[in-house]
Structure 1
Amino acid sequence: MTIRVLLADDQALLRAAIRILIDSCDDMEVVDEATDGARAIELARTHRPDLVLMDIHLPGSDGLAATTAICADPELSATRVLVLATSDMDEEVAEALRAGASGFLGREATADALLDGIRTVASGESLLSPLATRALITRYLAASAEDRLATPEDLAALTAEEREVLGRVAEGQSNAEIAEKLLVGPSDVRAHVRQAMTKLGARDRAQLVVIAHQSGLVRAVPPRSGAR
């Protein structure tokens, strides 16, 4: 299966470099390019890509607004957004993930990290550095009651296995790591994650992380000095 990617960045040289990098891979291709937020939204609706690689600082309707519109569009429910920004700024990370982005990468990321990130997010997993995770959790834990994604009572819908997997997802463990710890297959972990997302109304793993903390299932917030 080929991962179809929409590039949204106002820097022509960077877009060209990323296009060459992506098109050199057998499992992904660039379907189009946007130079501002409004165009990114338009092209996402036209092509319905698997993933939008979104510059958070687009001119006009910026990357945050475009991310919000794309993630809120029911017809684009299968499209994931991977955000690029110049640095791990708490506010930007939290806003992008709150808008529905499934992952975050600094613009200083290596070529291999970028390609791995695209594959990770396109597969349905989230891509969060420890700092991004901390920013996300801190922002959501400060939310008012009506803005919270879940309460402790909501976890009653989960099985014991789903709760265990949810807790490990919130700690930043990958499916492979969870499978190894629980002595089950990766497909079992994926099934538990999907069930937890369905029962808790989460769009992706990033929201599962938030739910685990808001509901009290996991209480430790990643420290500011955590390794990337």
Structure 2
Amino acid sequence: MMLNFFDQFMSPVFLGFPLIALALCLPWMLFPSPTTRWINNRFITLQAWSINRATYQLFSPLSVGGHKWALLLISLMIFLITLNLLGLLPYTFTPTTQLSLNMAFAIPLWLATVVIGLRNQPTIALGHLLPEGTPLLLIPVLIIIETISLFIRPLALGVRLTANLTAGHLLIQLIATAVLVLLPIMPAVAILTASILFLLTLLEVAVAMIQAYVFVLLLSLYLQENV
């Protein structure tokens, strides 16, 4: 039994080599590269269909200038989904439970959307800080509030992804520990708890995919304001 439930979120090290580097490189080895053949196997066909649908849903509201980001953001979504799902396997480590890693994804991409807006349409980008029709006395206060909300966006992106995955892993760990403790004492209650654990695991699979989609969706919304 683990003495500390948060030990599962520590980056493991083997022979002085941080295994988080291996975890970050592993997802790209699991996906086959598309081919130019007309007929592929079912996995590649399903993969291509899913990517096409996700790309359409995310980038159809954007202008043509925002479509240049499709490759980057869709690759990021697939990368995050794979990391989140691999972290649900036993004896594995989930890099996306580290706030530093999520902020490393969120801050540069958010900053890039802001810089693009200031470069292409500075008047509209700065106009987001002050809603139209604001009374004169409220202008300084609203500018401060909108500026703070603008700089909180990357923090919200990183914290949302970290908090959802961390909470799910902690719940799974707590319920699994309860099953092991109750099994020799009250087998019937342990079986009921194990069924709850199974349902929670299915929920975490859905959360792992949804949170990666939401991360990229919010980035596309920020991009939509600046292109």
Q: TM-score range by the shorter chain?
A: under 0.3
Tell me which structure has the larger Cα radius of gyration: 2
- TM-score normalised by L of structure 1: 0.26
Question: Which structure would you say has the larger RCO, counting Cα contacts within 8 Å and 6 or more residues apart?
Answer: 2
Structure whose residues are more often strand by fraction: 1
State TM-score, norm by structure 2. Answer: 0.26
Of Structure 1 and Structure 2, which has the larger fraction of its residues in helix? Answer: 2
